[in-house]
Amino acid sequence: MLFGTRSDLEISPVESRDSREFVNTVNGSCSEISSIAGASCQSLSIFYIKDGHILKDLLFFLHVPRTGGRTYFYCFLKKLYSNSLECPRSYDKLRFDPRKQNCKLFATHDDYSIMSKLPREKSSVVTILRNPIDRVFSAYEFSIEVAARFLVHPNLTSATKMSGNSGSKKSVISTLDIWPWKYLVPWMREELFSRRDARRRKASPNSYGDDSYNMEEIVTPLHEFINHPVALDLVHNGATFQIAGLTNNSNTWKVHDVRHCVMNYQTLGNYVLEVAKRRLDDMLYVGLTEEHKESATMFANLVGAQVISQLLGTETVNYNKLEQGSLVSKTGFHTSHNQGNNTSIIEEQNENISVGKLMETYETCVSKLRSTQSKRRMSSLRRIFPANFTKEARRHVPEEVVKQITLLNSLDVELYKHAEIIFEKQHQKLFDSSMPERWQIMNGESYIGSEWEVVCLSLFIFLVLFIFFYPWSHRIRECARLNLRFLV
């Protein structure tokens, strides 16, 4: 596309020439790169991915870190696709073989440049985005959480040796194997051991304060983290770079120079942002972490329904005929990454599977997964007590730090705004396609309603009758009491 030599989209001869020229001059000045990138970006407007909103043979889940994607992977995708349909070791290019027969699911933290290895005309892309400020907080917290697990060891040498041994197990994908944690966690681990050793050498009692994000004697403070070269390279504007195919994990050569030019040239950053926006436009589905419940419902209807239809051998999905309980409502609703044996609910349920059943399975799975993650997080953070990362603690982070995070993630802020627009369009499209049929059924004699609707309607009728008849029943009792007195 724009920054690479691959042909992941249908492109014009002009763009193809400009892209090659751009790659060949990446080592030149940033001003030259900006000029060539601008010419390439302008040519993007004349093409698009054909049928981008229809599920193709291969589903590529572009997992932006700290967006809740792991929940989708384990509680949606692993429930829909059995292991036999999943591309092997679908994280960080670990033994990835796109030629595997019947490979239908590819989930990874890799950036969009991995599309150069996928059958472009047969691939659909889905992703989830998160508010950039919250995502930076989460990346900081997760890096510390995982690194703190190693504090059970007496020293850094022992911890490093242990992590090296665990990574040699072929059946397990460790967090340390996955981008960007394979860079962030070792750095944070070294920081934790260094600070722990310094505390032990210190004779006087420690006074840590009450700001968990600024306990420098225990962990790297947030304000230092966001300005560190590692964070600047891996965390800030991470979603934009990942969707544009420009991370340091990219399959495209020389993108490191481009990223640094983007940091210095706003114009070049705008070109990269436009590429990311247009790729979002062409994706099968774009979810939002902050709209978790509605995003999940939408994913089940827009993606899950098509996967079910595809794997059961039908050609099309009629959203109007989906189980009523699955329809989206108008109101808004690490670690080892083991990939053990998995039987999809499609295999278990055969043709009885529905979007409603998928959502039930998802909600059960999410509850268990969150419980496990919460216990593991608490266990890890106990090792760096009194530091404790909570929503309440975030509110006490100085405003100037939050403003700096916002400034450092200006591209992601704009990309997230664009994702919100896409999300609303997806919602409206699904709602419009579902409601006419629903309205028609509700007005027909055969409509019974879903279980929760029947219960709610019954309660509503009971409440109305109670409010209406209670005063009268009270008067009748009074009249009866008076009549009884009269007779006596």
Cα angle 404, 408, 410 (rounded to 5 degrees) comes to 115
Of 20, 70, 89, 120, the active-site residue reads: 120
Bridge partners for 124 per DSSP: 59
Q: Is 70 a catalytic residue?
A: no
Question: CA torsion angle for 288, 291, 293, 294 (degrees, to 10)?
Answer: -80
| Residue at 274: amino acid letter | E
- What is the side-by-side order of every strand in the sheet holding 105-108? 105-108, 58-62, 123-129, 285-288
| Residue at 48: amino acid letter | Y
- Do the strands 123-129 and 58-62 form a parallel or antiparallel pair, or are they unpaired? parallel
Cβ proximity of 328 and 431 under 8 Å: yes
Q: Tokens standing for 146? A: 């995982």
Q: Tokens standing for 208? A: 């840590």
Instruction: List C-alpha distances in Å: 151 to 61, 148, 210.
Output: 33, 5, 22
Give Cβ neighbours of residue 249 (< 8 Å, ≥ 6 apart).
Answer: 92, 109, 110, 111, 179, 180
Question: CA torsion angle for 210, 214, 215, 219 (degrees, to 10)?
Answer: 140
Give dist(CA 342, CA 306) in Å, integer: 20
449: helix, coil or strand? coil
Q: Is 120 a catalytic residue?
A: yes
Of 15, 86, 141, 274, the active-site residue reads: 141
Give Cβ neighbours of residue 468 (< 8 Å, ≥ 6 apart).
Answer: none
Q: Which residues are catalytic?
A: 120, 141
